[in-house]
Amino acid sequence: MKILYQIGEYVIIMFQALKRPDKGFVFRRQLLYDFKRLGVDSISIISIISLFTGAIIAIQMAYNIDSPFIAKSIIGFSTRQMLVLEISPTIICLILAGKVGSRIASEIGTMRITEQIDALRVMGVNPPNYLILPKIVAAMIYFPVLIVFSIFLGILGGWIMGSITGLIPSADYILGIRSWFDPFTLTYAMIKTVVFAFIITSVSAYKGYTVKGGSVEVGQASTEAIVVSSILIIFSDLILTQLLLT
């Protein structure tokens, strides 16, 4: 019963959130603020993880494809495919679920327990619309940019590592990453990213918005936001992959 109640509550809050903002300039200001906090502030962690992940994938590919009958360019190709299809959109979004999701849940949860949300309501503001909508829009616009950046850095990481270790000749790697490119794979990655962005922001905002109690409950809401978002990301990844790639 509790899960049905929560789904109903989530839907009601999203209906309130996804309305047209009362004041356009207030919304735009919030949007810019959330671009910075949810997007720009995530660039450093995304860069580090993507660079190293790309490097590790390239080394593992080189280790596994150790046959004179398989062209070395396959390492570059496989690295690119893994990054575009799964590592960047899904794994990076799981990391963003931890970083951005916990931030949203704890921020909105703290606003709830310190009566800031009540203050918004008293001022005639629709709190979900004011607090949640800019975060959803910011993430749905900015996360695809982050994922493209992540793919680029991952491929770069593989190239750097392959060149430094001598496992993959630079020319072969570059040939590999340019071979058999299907633009739809990038579209597929972007569709997944936009869906994941909505899941991360809406679920985390819902968890924060419905906090009751004190700081302990805000912490719990933050953890629940990450757990639920992560499960929903993996679940929707399966469904989207089945729908889009088969």
Partner 1 sequence: MIEVKNISKSFGDQLIVDNVSTTFEEGKTNLIIGQSGSGKTVLMKCCIGLYDVDSGEVDFHGRQFSNLSDKKRKNIRKEMGVLFQGGALFDSLTVEENIMFPLNMFTNMKPKEKLERVNFVLENVNLSGTNSKFPAELSGGMVKRVAIARALSLMPKYLFADEPNSGLDPKTAERIDELLSSLTKKFNMTTVINTHDMNSVLQIGEKICFINQGKLCWEGTKETILKTKNKELNDFVFATELTRRIKH
Q: Which residues bind partner 1 (CB under 8 A)?
A: 22-23, 25-26, 33, 110-111, 114-116, 118-119, 121-126
Cβ atoms of residues 43 and 30 within 8 Å: no
Q: Shortest distance, CB of residue 22 to partner 1, whole angstroms? A: 7
- Name which of 38 and 199 has its Cβ closer to partner 1: 38
Burial 232-244 (b: 16+ CB within 10 A, else e): bbeebbeebeeee
Structure-token match 């001022």, residue found: 123
Cα 56 to chain centroid distance, Å, stands at: 21
The nearer residue to partner 1, 22 or 182, going by C-beta atoms, is: 22
All residues at 6 or more sequence positions from 216 whose CB lies less than 8 Å from its CB, including other chains: none
Nearer to partner 1, 15 or 181 (CB): 15
Least distance to partner 1, CB of residue 41, Å: 13
Give the phi and the psi of residue 72 in degrees, each rounded to 5. Answer: -65, -25
Three-class SS state of 66: coil
Closest CB to partner 1 among residues 161, 211: 211
Q: Provide, rounded to whole angstroms, the least separation between the CB of residue 97 and partner 1.
A: 22
How many Å apart are CA 89 and CA 76, to the nearest integer? Answer: 18
Q: Which is nearer to partner 1, 9 or 115 (CB)?
A: 115
Task: Choose between 68 and 124: whose C-beta lies nearer to partner 1.
Answer: 124
Rounded Cα gap, residues 139 and 145, in angstroms: 10
CB of 137 to partner 1, least distance (A): 17
Amino acid, single-letter form, for residue 77? F
| CB 218, min distance to partner 1, A | 13
Minimum separation from the CB atom of position 123 to partner 1 (A): 5
